[in-house]
Amino acid sequence: MNFLNNLHPVTKNLLLINVILFIITVFGEQQGFPITHYLGGHVFSSPFFQPYQLVTHFFMHGSLMHLVGNMFGLVFFGNLLERVWGPKRFFIFYFVTGIGAFVLYQGIGYYELLQVREEITLLGYNYHDVHHLLSEGKVYTNAGPKMTEYVQMLSVPMIGASGAVFGILAAAAYLFPNMEIMLIFFPVPIKAKYFVSIYLVYEVIQTIQYNPTDNIAHLAHIAGALIGFIMVKIWQKSRTNFY
């Protein structure tokens, strides 16, 4: 409990909500209730998309390692930002970066979806019928690779706090560039500006290479970092004393 007592209120509550929802999701889905399907964030034109998913998606995680990685970033860097900004500003920052990353990622996803939609239309499928069948819980079988891709784009939700966490990383690296970090898998001190820069370069490379099988929304990570950086610059200009 001493660990939780050392956390600032927004950071602590975000951590608890994420952990509790992960536990509920694991047990719920073992019982056959698809919590991730309802609370994960679907592409905007999907029959499964709901406005509340703009927020709920970044409290959902697909595995224990997914959760631990994001919560490490939240606790280590987010707690620092909340200390210097205060709870209100940090709360706003977290939600804006999380929602903003989702909107940018799914906005591009919607554009890609339209391209695939044109291709399946040329193959003789009616996408309205596809959406209707999916909304009724029915599935297509042996429909070919393009239809399979289209259905997957509609059905697979985006989950995780990574967009908000990358916003936190970008803000921390900008405000505290020379802060040294010691990673478990790399036990050598590295300055925040180098750590975050290397991490973002990796995300850009992964986005360009585009491997759909890795199930990681690299573009959302970049979007979160970009939004976080822009917010810090705006706030910095709007106040004489940023802290």
Q: Say if 148 falls within a structural domain.
A: yes
Q: How confident is the model at residue 84 (pLDDT cuts 50, 70, 90)?
A: very high
Closest CA to 111 of 63, 178, 43: 43
Q: Say if 243 falls within a structural domain.
A: no
pLDDT tens digits along 13-56: 999 999 999 999 999 999 999 999 999 999 998 999 999 999 99
What letter represents residue 35's amino acid? I
pLDDT tens digits along 114-129: 898 888 888 887 777 7
In this structure, of 125-139, 178-192, 212-226, 228-242, the range with the lowest mean pLDDT score is: 125-139
Mean residue pLDDT of the chain comes to 89
In whole angstroms, what is the distance from residue 236 CA to residue 240 CA?
Answer: 8
Q: How confident is the model at residue 217 (pLDDT cuts 50, 70, 90)?
A: confident
Q: Say if 228 falls within a structural domain.
A: yes
pLDDT tens digits along 134-165: 776 666 665 677 888 888 888 899 999 999 99
Q: Say if 102 falls within a structural domain.
A: yes
Q: Say if 51 falls within a structural domain.
A: yes
Q: To 10 degrees, what angle do helices 162-175 and 218-238 make? A: 40
Q: Say if 145 falls within a structural domain.
A: yes
Q: What's the domain count of the chain?
A: 1
Q: What is the CATH number of the domain that holds 13?
A: 1.20.1540.10
Q: Which domain holds residue 159?
A: 2-238
In whole angstroms, what is the distance from residue 51 CA to residue 61 CA?
Answer: 19
Predicted confidence at residue 15, as pLDDT, reads 97
* Cross-strand pairs, 90: none
Compute the average pLDDT of residues 183-194. 81
Residue 217 has phi, psi (to 5 degrees) of: -85, 75
Q: Say if 54 falls within a structural domain.
A: yes
Query: At 190, which helix (H) or strand (E)?
Result: strand 190-191
Predicted confidence at residue 186, as pLDDT, reads 67
Compute the average pLDDT of residues 171-188. 85
Task: Determine the straight-line distance between the first and last CA of the chain, rounded to whole angstroms.
Answer: 29
Residue 171 has pLDDT above 90, yes or no: yes
Q: Where are the alpha helices (DSSP H) in 123-210?
A: 127-135, 145-155, 162-175, 192-209
Q: Say if 171 falls within a structural domain.
A: yes
Residue 170 has pLDDT above 90, yes or no: yes
- pTM, whole model, 2 decimals? 0.89
